[in-house]
Homo-oligomer: A and B are copies of this chain.
Amino acid sequence: MKIGIIGGTGDIGKGLSLRISDKHEIILGSREAAKACEAADATVCTLRDRNCTGLCHGASNEEAVRDADIVVISLPFQHVAPTLAGINPTYLENKIVISPVNPMGKKDGYFFFDRPEEGSAALAIQKMLPASAKLVTAFNNIAAHKWTLLDEELDYTVAVCGDDAEAKKVVMQLVSEVSRLQAVDAGPLAVAGIVESITPLVLNIAKFNGLKDVGVHFG
């Protein structure tokens, strides 16, 4: 499959390109295509140093969406609306779109879930997409910089929410191909806000307990 990542120069783009570009073609998108090409080159070099290969290249955000089978929106919540506004919406039609977006803020030394009016980033983003796009949330609670630590396995549960059963299945399969991630079906998009809010929670747990890279396991 071709996976196009909006905001692909961030940790998720780097992580996915390092970890699954041997199985899927990864298109890193960026506002500046040159930056995305640089990030893609860096991935290919890292993999080559390890005697691995991967199919990964850079593009503009719009090209990454246009050429992808599955689109990942790897952006801070406040950048999602303006970025999607700059992309031809027909490129998103009928596609699976993955949101790992967690709206959050920080005050008085702790992180909080900055709940959008719609109840979650997922429900807000759904309104920005064509009706035929199939939005699924995944990869929400993985400590950002863990993605790129190739010597460390990602041994977490990924709670996946979505309203399209088939799309959810495809995303759960994709998740399970990444390191040791275990995908679980966490229900419809209506409850995605719970999963999104776990990210400020694990950041607080890390902060208040002197821990690093706290993730979540359900079981």
A184 on interface, CB distance cutoff 8 Å: yes
Q: Kindly state the separation between the CA atoms of A202 and B202 in the bound complex, as whole angstroms.
A: 16
CA distance A186 to B214 in the complex (A): 12
| A108–B189 CA distance with the chains assembled, in angstroms | 13
Size range of the interface on A? Answer: 20 to 34
**A15 within 8 A of partner (CB):** no
Q: In the assembly, what is the distance between CA of A96 and CA of B195, in Å?
A: 30
A208 engages B185 (CB within 8 Å): yes
Contact B185 A194 (CB under 8 A): no
- Cα-based distance from A211 to B184 in the complex (angstroms): 10
Residue A112 CB within 8 A of the other chain: yes
For the residues of A in contact with B, the DSSP-based class is: mixed
Q: Could you tell me if A205 and B190 are in contact, using CB atoms closer than 8 angstroms?
A: no
**A110:B190 contact, CB within 8 angstroms:** yes
Residue in B113, B185, B214 whose CB lies within 8 Å of A218: B214
Cβ of A76 < 8 Å from any Cβ of B? no
A161 nearest CB neighbor, chain B only: B204
User: Chain B nearest CB: distance from A80 CB in Å?
Assistant: 21
Asked if A84 is at the interface of the complex by the 8 Å CB criterion, the answer is no
A159 within 8 A of B: yes
A-B contacts, 21 listed (Cβ < 8 Å) = A110-B190, A110-B191, A111-B187, A113-B193, A159-B205, A184-B205, A184-B208, A186-B201, A187-B201, A187-B204, A187-B205, A187-B208, A191-B201, A195-B201, A197-B197, A202-B218, A214-B218, A214-B219, A215-B219, A216-B218, A217-B218
